[in-house]
Amino acid sequence: MAKVQFGVHTIEEIFSQPETWKQCLAGFRQTHQLKSFGQAISKESECVFIGCGSSYYVALVAASTWTLLTGGPARALPASELLLFPQSFPNSCQPILISRSGHTSEVLEAAKFLENRLNLRTIAITCATDTAIEKLSSRLIRLPAADERSTVMTRSFTSMLLALQILAAERAGNYEFARSFDRLASETRPLIESVQLKIRKLVQTFHIQDFVFLGQGPFFGVAQEATLKVAEMSCSYAQSFHTLEFRHGPKAIVGPETLVTFLLTDSGYSSEVAVLKEIKNLGATTLVIGNLADPVARKSADCLIELSIDVPEAARAVAMAIPGQLLGYHVGIAKGLNPDEPRNLTRVVVLEGQDGGALHGAA
């Protein structure tokens, strides 16, 4: 019997990201779809980004980017929140449903509720073909190049995020931001192997028991996604916080067996590096991911990943997701697990009996 090779699909999908982004960008240019969808969204409308799991974390970063670029209101919601607390949902808004598979029960129920009950016209984004979501939503963005064999989302996360960030740039008329993704793809491609070497060395050198990911602004959702990657692929205990929130209680857990990862922003750099210095002094093992590090950040980092990518800060969120993906993968492999087949997980969460049952019947 042929030996199962652990993680082959996942690692191939992680490395394929820059090429996948390029394919997506070529598709957007051909169809002009993001331009027409973006410009059709009213400037007064709040954008509500909705998803589950990694797709919810796409929503968090997309909502932050939307407000940064357009100055307009935006929020992110897990689909379940909309179903269980529909009364807290704004009646007038632009909902954007995010689902790699296009079949997640909560997202489908959310689409029915928004389209049929609230009479709102939804935009859905998915990577799969022939999906249930496209029959329920008014408009569809499809990224077939970003679909995956793996259960764990990697290139689908970054590619759906990239599309939604371009949608925001189109709404804002910020064409420089939209164009920066070509540079992002070219500059990220040669980095992934060196990032992998550093992450592998980190995992082999330190005895890490649990994981913390810290980020602010658009990088907070990236920190949450990294938490999920590590939990899914390595069955480890992982948490995320806004960087400066870590001081307000959670730092009690710090010790040499805690890996604290800092996703450094440019906007909050000096305040975030002050937390890094403090946490290093408390004895944590630290992984620092930033664009350009100063001597204090260098000194406080057990492992430093400097991206040096010449794009606006929020556009860098897509590349900032890769170290967390590689960390989840390599911790999983080091524990003898198969990242292609995470424990207890399925590729899509389909709930039975949603009518009046598990999903409380908002739709």
Instruction: Kindly report the number of other CB atoms within 10 A of residue 71's CB atom.
Output: 9
Closest CB to ligand F1P among residues 53, 221: 53
Q: Which residues contact 168 (CB under 8 A, 6 or more apart)?
A: 38, 62, 65, 66, 68, 69, 70
Closest residue by Cα to residue 271 from 251, 289, 297: 297
Closest CB to ligand F1P among residues 4, 345: 345
Residue nearest to ligand F1P (CB): 53
Q: How far apart are CA 65 and CA 126, in angstroms?
A: 19
Q: Applying CB under 6 A, which residues contact ligand F1P?
A: 52-55, 99-101, 104, 107, 151-153, 232, 345, 347-349
Q: Tell me the closest approach of the beta carbon of residue 78 to ligand F1P, in angstroms.
A: 10
- H or E segment at 269? helix 269-281
Closest CB to ligand F1P among residues 72, 78: 78
Q: Tell me the closest approach of the beta carbon of residue 318 to ligand F1P, in angstroms.
A: 17
Closest CB to ligand F1P among residues 70, 101: 101
Taken in order 306, 307, 308, 314, the sign of the CA dihedral is negative
Q: Tell me the closest approach of the beta carbon of residue 282 to ligand F1P, in angstroms.
A: 32
Using the structure block, give the residue that is written with the tokens 């990862």: 261
Ordered strands of the 47-51 beta sheet? 74-78, 47-51, 94-98, 123-126, 139-142
Q: Tell me the closest approach of the beta carbon of residue 338 to ligand F1P, in angstroms.
A: 15
36, 41, 47, 49: CA torsion to nearest 10:
-30
What the block records as the tokens of 28 is 């957007």
Closest CB to ligand F1P among residues 98, 260: 98
Q: Cα 7 to chain center, whole Å?
A: 20
Taken in order 164, 23, 144, 104, the sign of the CA dihedral is negative
Closest CB to ligand F1P among residues 62, 273: 62
For 22, the 3-state DSSP assignment is: helix
Closest CB to ligand F1P among residues 152, 214: 152
What the block records as the tokens of 244 is 């400066």
Q: Tell me the closest approach of the beta carbon of residue 320 to ligand F1P, in angstroms.
A: 18
Q: Tell me the closest approach of the beta carbon of residue 268 to ligand F1P, in angstroms.
A: 27
Closest CB to ligand F1P among residues 273, 337: 337
Q: Tell me the closest approach of the beta carbon of residue 43 to ligand F1P, in angstroms.
A: 29
Q: Tell me the closest approach of the beta carbon of residue 143 to ligand F1P, in angstroms.
A: 12
What the block records as the tokens of 89 is 């949902």
Q: Tell me the closest approach of the beta carbon of residue 321 to ligand F1P, in angstroms.
A: 13
Closest CB to ligand F1P among residues 69, 223: 223
Task: Identify the burial level of 297 via C-beta atoms within 10 angstroms of its C-beta, where 0-12 means exposed, 13-18 middle and 19 or more buried.
Answer: buried
What the block records as the tokens of 323 is 């170290």
Whole-Å CA distances, 145 to 31, 153, 192: 15, 13, 19
Q: What is the DSSP letter of 352?
A: S
Under 8 Å between Cβ of 214 and 263: yes
What the block records as the tokens of 141 is 């963005």
